[in-house]
Amino acid sequence: PLGMPPLAREAVERHASGAFRYPQGGNPRLAKALGQRHGVDEHRVVVGNGSDEIIDLLIRILAIPGAHNIVCFNPCFSIYPIQGRICGVEIRRQPLEEDFSFNFAALLELVDANTRIVFVTTPDNPSGFCPPRAAVEALARDLAHKAPDCLLVVDEAYVDFAEDEKAASMLASGIMPKNTAFMRTFSKSFGLAGMRVGYGILPDHLADFVWRARLPFSVNILAEEAALAALADDTFYNATQDAVRTGRKELFAGLTALGCKVWPSEANFLMFGMPEGAPTAAECFETLLARGIIIRPLKSYSLPNLLRVSIGNQQENLAFLSAMADIIARKGEEA
């Protein structure tokens, strides 16, 4: 919500004249900085062109087309099933509960000897639901027993927006089972979505394979400098956390007051449904779009009656709530 970190912007400007050079292979400075940030061996850190690249590589490296399968929830982050299908791998999906919580026991039932990856997003996309850390730990243990060759990928793209990160994240708590990989990104808290920098913290042997398979210069030299600077910009990072947590409460209260059904979220967005008698989700999206306010319709998640709004700065949040009030009021007047 606060744009690009000032230190990252300065770093890009300062290093722009060096953009004719290739970055150092393996991005060792960034891997080392991330290892220090998370208290892990830097050789377990793999940096990618967004965490999407690492997710794609894990599927390509671990799963044999026509032989293996991947397990995830439905709905979930679309990259998991899409890239799995592109790679010719069977996708097995467990529907979310009615309240969008996770049924890990049912998910585990889909796992067999041919399952190579289980994906879990904490907090989840698009609902913002975050399972208790202990439940994810138990899933890792159960998977190790049932499918020793299976990797649990815990996608923590949004986890630092949780009210209590350590209570939500195994990684933040220093709990790293041998069968578990963690995905993180610079696109959210660090304000570098357009720079395309993400990373995974993987088991030792797997990190080595991913580095060998990854294209050599997928993280460009300016993106690396921006990421290094963003890691050092604590003022921006803390301000972003404050803005999201405060804005999330304000938008939740504002949408609820307008009669919307709003789901609790630990991420930097809220999922909501329109009040009875109000415009449809599609109509609301189009009306907001015409006013220059872009939110996310969830038809692509097979949730055509729901919408997702990212937390903005205070001015953006107020503009959104004002527009929503106008849309809902006008429908009431028409009725």
* Overall average pLDDT of the 213-231 stretch: 94
Q: Judge whether residue 103 has pLDDT over 70.
A: yes
Express each pLDDT in 168-218 by its tens digit: 999 999 999 999 999 999 999 999 999 999 999 999 889 999 999 998 899
With contact defined as beta carbons under 8 Å apart, do 306 and 256 qualify?
no
Task: Starting at the earlier edge strand, list the strands of the sheet with 296-297.
Answer: 261-262, 269-273, 306-310, 296-297
User: What residues contact residue 191 under an 8 Å CB cut-off, 6+ apart?
Assistant: 2, 3, 4, 5, 8, 230, 236, 240
Express each pLDDT in 263-319 by its tens digit: 999 999 999 999 998 999 999 999 999 999 999 999 999 999 999 999 999 999 999
Q: What is the DSSP string of 155-209?
A: E-TTGGGSSSHHHH-TTTTT---TTEEEEEESSSTTS-GGG--EEEE--HHHHHH
Q: How far apart are CA 254 and CA 248, in angstroms?
A: 10
pLDDT value at residue 334: 55
User: What residues contact residue 33 under an 8 Å CB cut-off, 6+ apart?
Assistant: 228, 231
Hey, how many other C-beta atoms are within 10 angstroms of the C-beta on 19?
12
Report pTM.
0.92
Q: Judge whether residue 335 has pLDDT over 80.
A: no
Amino acid occupying residue 60: R
Amino acid occupying residue 153: V
With contact defined as beta carbons under 8 Å apart, do 292 and 322 qualify?
no
**Secondary structure (3-state) at 218:** coil
pLDDT value at residue 26: 86
Quick one: what percent of the chain has pLDDT higher than 70?
99
Structure tokens at 193: 């979505």
Residue the block writes with tokens 């319709």: 297
Four-point Cα dihedral 186, 191, 193, 195, nearest 10:
-80
Residue the block writes with tokens 């990797």: 151
With contact defined as beta carbons under 8 Å apart, do 112 and 255 qualify?
no
Amino acid occupying residue 48: G
pLDDT value at residue 196: 95
Q: Judge whether residue 332 has pLDDT over 60.
A: no
Express each pLDDT in 159-180 by its tens digit: 999 999 999 999 999 999 999 9
* Overall average pLDDT of the 114-123 stretch: 96
Residue the block writes with tokens 């996770």: 102
pLDDT value at residue 150: 96
pLDDT value at residue 330: 79
Q: pLDDT-based confidence at 143, cuts 50/70/90?
A: very high
pLDDT value at residue 204: 86
pLDDT value at residue 185: 97
CA angle 253, 319, 333 (to 5 degrees): 80
* Overall average pLDDT of the 252-266 stretch: 97
Q: Judge whether residue 333 has pLDDT over 60.
A: no
pLDDT value at residue 306: 97
Q: How far is CA 57 from CA 24, 39, 122, 206, in A?
A: 20, 24, 20, 11
Strands 90-95 and 45-48: unpaired
Question: Which residues does residue 46 pair with via DSSP β-bridges, in sequence order?
Answer: 200
Quick one: what percent of the chain has pLDDT higher than 90?
93
